[in-house]
Homo-oligomer: A and B are copies of this chain.
Amino acid sequence: MTKPKNLTAEALEELKPMKNGELLDTKVTIDTVKYEQPPEKHWILRRLYFLNWLKTYDRETAIADLIAGITLGLTIIPQSIAYAALAGLSSEYGLYSAIIGKVFYALFGTIPQVSIGPTSLMSLMVLQFVGERPMQFVVVLAFLAGLVELLMGVFQLGFVVNFIPTPVTKAFTSATAVIVAAVQFKNLLGLKGKGVPSIGELFKRIHYSDAILGLICLVVLLLLRQLAHINFKKNTPNTRRLKKFLWYVSISRNALVVFICSTITYFWVKNRSLEAIPYTLTAKVTSAQLTFSLPPFAFDYKNTTLVFTDIIHELGAGIAVVPIVAILANVAIAKAFVKDNRLDASQEMLTLGICNIAGSFFNCMPTCGAFTRSAVSQASGVRTPLSGIYTAILVYLALSVLTPYFGYIPRSSIAALLIIAVVFMIDFSPIKELWRTNKKDFFSWVGCFIVCLAAGVEVGLLFGIVLNMIFVLLRLGNPKVEVTLMECENRNYIFVSPTSDVYYSGVEYIRDKINDACLLYRDDFPVVLDCRRFMQFDATFVDVISAVAKELRERDVLLVLFGISEESQQLMHKSENINYCEGDRICSDDLSPKKQ
C-alpha cells in the first residue's frame, strides 16, 4: 500500500539519489552565490519572542489585543480566585499567579491564545502533592517545576510534541471543551447540590434567577457573535466603517456582556442592598500587594527547620509529575490553537519554566496554560501575546484600586461567556471521517476522548500518546519481508529482503522467515540476508543472527549477509557460519563458504 512495487529499472535509475550539488556543477547552470545557506534567525529573536511582535505592532493590532486583554481579565479574575480556592489557598495567590504568568508569557511566548496562569489541573496537583502543608511548599513546588520545565526547554526537548498525533490533539480539545461546557452549564443554571441530576431533579435544583440571567447572556452573546458576519449589499465608506464597528462590538461581546451585567448589579446594590441581588455573584476579590521575595528555600515547619533538601524530599514525585503534566497540557493546548501546526515547543517549555520560576519570587502557585482562557482569547480576536500585558494591568488594578468593583460580576454571565467560547471547539466530525480513512486514528480519537472524560484530560492525553506509540512499536515488531528464490550464474539462492526498516524488535521475526524459507526449500540453497534495512547493528541483532547461523550450520545451509558495512562486520561473533557479500552485488563466489 505504501509504495508502488512495479517500479521499472529505468524509473529506479531516474530516482537514484544524486549527491547534493553534483548537478549544480554540471547540468544546471545556477548562480551558486545566490544559493548560499541563508543566515539563521538570530537567537535573540527566537528567545525574546516579543521582539518579533513589536516590529509590526500597529494601532489595529493594539486595539484587538486590548479588547482581548480586557475580556480575558474579566475571565481570569474569577477563575484565578476559584482555582486558588481549589488548591486550598486564599484568593490573592491566584491573582498573583495570573499577573506573573501573563507578563512573562507576553515577553517569551509564541502563541497569542495561550494564557499562563492558575488552572484546575495545577490546583489538583498542588492539592495532591502539598495537601495540608503550608503555602511555602506551594511556592517551592512552583520554583522546582519551573526549573524542570526550563531545563527541558534548554535541552530542546520540544520534539516530544511530534509524538502527539493529530487525532489525539483533536480528541483532547473536544473532550476538554465538553468538560468545561458541562461544568459551566451547572454554573449557568445555578444548580444546587452535587452530582449529575436526573431530569426530574434538574428542575428542582435549578436556581431560576441565575438560569434566566445566564440564558439571556447566552442568547445575547450568540447574537453579538453573528454581528461580525453581517454583509452589506453596498460597499461605501460608510458601510465599511459600520462593518468595522460591528466587528469591534462582536469581538468585545464577552467584555461587554460582563460589564453590563456588573453595572446593573452595581446600581441595584447601590439602590437596594447586596442581599437583594437574586442571582449568585463570583467570589470577592481581597485587596493585596504583589511583593518580590526569594522563594522560601528554608523555613520552620512542625517545630523543625526544613532546608532545601528536606523540602525536595517532602515534595517527592511532585517535582517530576507537576512539570510533565504542565508541559503536556500546555503543548496540547498550544497545538490545538497554533496556526498551521507550526509550534516551537522548546520555546514554549522555556517560557513556561520562566513563568513558574519568576512566579516563585512573587508567592505564586504552579501555573500552566488553560484551555478555557485560550478559547476566550481566540473568540475575542487576540493578535499577539502582548495582549497579556493588558490583562495583567487589569488584574493588578483589581488587586489594588478597583477591588470593590470586582465584587459585582454575576457568576452565570461568566458561565455563559465560557460556554460560548468552548462550545464551538467541540467537534465530533472526526469520528465518522477517521472510521472511513484510518482505523488506527479512529481508535486514537475515541480512546483518548473517552479516557479524557472518564479519568481526566491529562490521563486521556497520555493515553492517546502511548496508544499511538504502541501502534508504531507493534508494527516494528512485524517488518515486511520478501523471500524470493533468485538465480545468479546458474546458482540458486534464497534472498531474504526486509522491505521496511528493521529495529531490534523485528529481528526475531526475520529469523522466523529465514527458517520458514529453509523449511520450504528443504535446506537446498544458501540464504542471502539483505541487511540494508537493518537500522541497528546492536547486541540483539548480533545474538539473533549468530543463533540463526548456528541453526543453519546444523542443517548445512550457508548464511550470507549482504549490504553490511565492514565496520559492522567487526561486531559479529567470529566463529559462526557467517559469510559476507563484499561487493555491491551478489555473485557466485559469495555463495560458497570463504576460506578463513
Interface residues of chain A, those whose CB is within 8 Å of chain B, are 1-21, 23-24, 27-28, 30, 34-35, 37-38, 159, 161-163, 165-167, 170, 340-342, 430, 434, 437-438, 440-441, 468-469, 472-473, 475-478, 482-488, 492, 495, 497, 499-501, 503-509, 519-522, 530-540, 542-544, 547, 550-551, 563, 565, 567-568, 571, 584-586
Contact = CB atoms under 8 A, between A and B. Distances in A.
A539 B585 contact: no
A341 B2 contact: no
B500 A565 contact: no
B487 A539 contact: no
A584 B505 contact: no
A531 B15 CA distance: 13
Contacts of A23: 484-487
B4 A565 contact: yes
A538 B438 contact: yes
A538 B165 contact: yes
A437 B162 contact: no
Contact of A584 (B7, B469, B478, B530): B7
Contacts of A37: 520
Nearest to A506: B162
B487 A167 contact: no
Given A440-B538, A522-B35, A585-B10, A565 B1 contact: yes
23 contacts: A2-B533, A5-B17, A8-B584, A9-B16, A14-B586, A15-B585, A17-B484, A17-B495, A20-B483, A23-B485, A23-B487, A28-B485, A35-B521, A159-B478, A162-B506, A162-B509, A340-B551, A341-B508, A438-B536, A438-B538, A441-B538, A472-B473, A475-B535
Contact of A532 (B3, B161, B476, B477): B3
Contacts of A469: 469, 473
Contact of A520 (B8, B17, B38, B522): B38
B12 A12 contact: yes
Contacts of A10: 585
A572 to B, nearest CB: 10
Given A437-B539, A521-B35, A162 B477 contact: yes
A365 B478 CA distance: 36
B544 A18 contact: no
A10 B487 CA distance: 15
A208 to B, nearest CB: 41
A524 to B, nearest CB: 8
A488 B11 CA distance: 12
A24 B584 CA distance: 25
List the number of copies, as a whole number: 2
A585 B437 contact: no
Given A4-B584, A162-B505, A500 B539 contact: no
Contacts of A437: 538-539, 542, 571
Contacts of A8: 584-585
A504 B543 contact: no
B34 A508 contact: no
B13 A9 contact: yes
A285 to B, nearest CB: 42
A378 to B, nearest CB: 18
A253 B532 CA distance: 50
B472 A20 contact: no
A566 to B, nearest CB: 10
A476 to B, nearest CB: 7
Given A14-B585, A434-B539, A472-B503, 12 more contacts: A2-B533, A2-B537, A14-B488, A14-B586, A17-B497, A28-B485, A165-B538, A340-B551, A430-B539, A438-B537, A441-B540, A473-B473
Contacts of A438: 536-539, 571
A144 B438 CA distance: 35
The CB with the most chain B CB atoms within 10 A, among A8, A30, A167, A484, is that of A484
Contacts of A3: 531-533, 563
A497 B1 CA distance: 18
B520 A162 contact: no
A542 B167 CA distance: 11
Given A20-B483, A35-B521, A501 B504 contact: no
